[in-house]
Chain A
Amino acid sequence: MFEAVAFYLFAFLTIAMFSITVMTSQALYALTALAAGMIFISAFFFILGADFLGAVQIIVYTGAVMALYAFGMMFFDTTRDVKEKKGNKFIIIGLSTLAAVMVVAIFTAPLISTNMTAFYPMIEGAGNTQTVGLVLFTKYLIPFEVAAVMLLVAMIAGIVLAGKKMDLSLTLMNAEEIVEIEEKDKKVLS
């Protein structure tokens, strides 16, 4: 009973928040609605018994990703209204629904087959965090390490891309100064 109430409440809230994210013309509203939707999604993980995944969702998405988006938005001109593509609405909604139904088909096709067994079954008497740790550091150790390397690469790429010439602003310079800097860069590189 409580599960059903919680499910429908959070489903409604999540759909409403993500609709605001997609439909609003204010970038700031989109950001805050997205952050709220991420927290509501973590509620589903808690209902489903995936406690560790819910905590990771809150920490990574609303802690790290949203903070990064907020920092990124400080660079961009977000006060003006966002222009939208003037496309055919029926084509857009029809294609989206078709693709989403195909995603569900992809997920349900293996489930329909009757001889499906759990590959890494949940261990009785152990908490979710404990079982996640057991499986992650035995069966999924190499993907875990690869993900760590990938995050390191992404961090270095972010620093290199965003931190370049942080001390001078290319938007405030005129064209001659930018060309001059680029010429200097070419000489250094060659």
Chain B
Amino acid sequence: MEIGLNHYLVLSTILFAIGLVGVMRRKNLLLLFFATEILLNSVNIAFAAISHYYGDLTGQMFAFFVIAIAASELAVGLGLLIVWYKRHGNIDLDTMTSMRG
């Protein structure tokens, strides 16, 4: 059985849905970061698959830049989380309501 582009796109959809479920149900910010990594990776699969089936390298290039952005987002985000944890002793989303009107 031939594996086509649609197989990869369906897989990417399933992984994206899993990541979105994680984003919506997690309260701990560290585990929320894990869910965002899943989202970025699922899109990378779609980019690589389209790049392969259309013989075009642009998809792979964009996947590289997505990886670079994910790495830098993680560095800054973890730094901020550590600062917040030192101040407040937890990283739950529900406690970050200091800007509520």
Chain B associates with chain A: yes
B30 contacts which chain A residues (CB < 8 A)? 27, 69, 72-73, 76, 78
Per the bound structure, the CA–CA distance linking A49 and B37 in Å amounts to 23
Cβ-closest chain B residue relative to A155: B75
If A135-B57, A154-B72, A170-B87 touch, whether A96 touches B9 (CB-CB below 8 Å) is no
From A18, A73, A82, contact of B18 by CB (8 A) = A18
Per the bound structure, the CA–CA distance linking A37 and B51 in Å amounts to 22
If A34-B37, A53-B63 touch, whether A158 touches B76 (CB-CB below 8 Å) is yes
- Within the complex, the shortest CB–CB distance from B17 to chain A, in Å, comes to 4
User: Is B96 on the interface with A (CB-CB < 8 A)?
Assistant: no
Per the bound structure, the CA–CA distance linking A60 and B65 in Å amounts to 12
Per the bound structure, the CA–CA distance linking A37 and B16 in Å amounts to 13
Interface of A is mostly: helix
If A103-B13, A118-B55 touch, whether A48 touches B25 (CB-CB below 8 Å) is no
A116→B64 contact, CB < 8 A? no
A100 contacts which chain B residues (CB < 8 A)? 13-14, 16-17, 20
Cβ-closest chain A residue relative to B82: A162
Per the bound structure, the CA–CA distance linking A164 and B13 in Å amounts to 41
B68→A50 contact, CB < 8 A? no
If A44-B48, A83-B28, A103-B13 touch, whether A4 touches B61 (CB-CB below 8 Å) is no
- For A1-12 the 0/1 string (1 means CB < 8 A from B) is 101100100010
6 more contacts with CB within 8 A, not counting A27-B31, A53-B60, A61-B67, are: A21-B38, A60-B67, A65-B71, A77-B90, A84-B26, A143-B65
Q: Give 3 nearest A-B pairs by CB, closest first.
A: A161-B79, A154-B72, A96-B20
Q: List 28 A-B contacts (CB under 8 A).
A: A11-B11, A18-B19, A21-B22, A21-B35, A22-B21, A30-B31, A37-B38, A48-B8, A48-B49, A50-B52, A52-B60, A53-B63, A69-B34, A69-B74, A76-B30, A84-B25, A92-B21, A96-B17, A100-B17, A103-B16, A104-B46, A121-B56, A132-B60, A136-B61, A154-B72, A158-B75, A164-B83, A169-B86
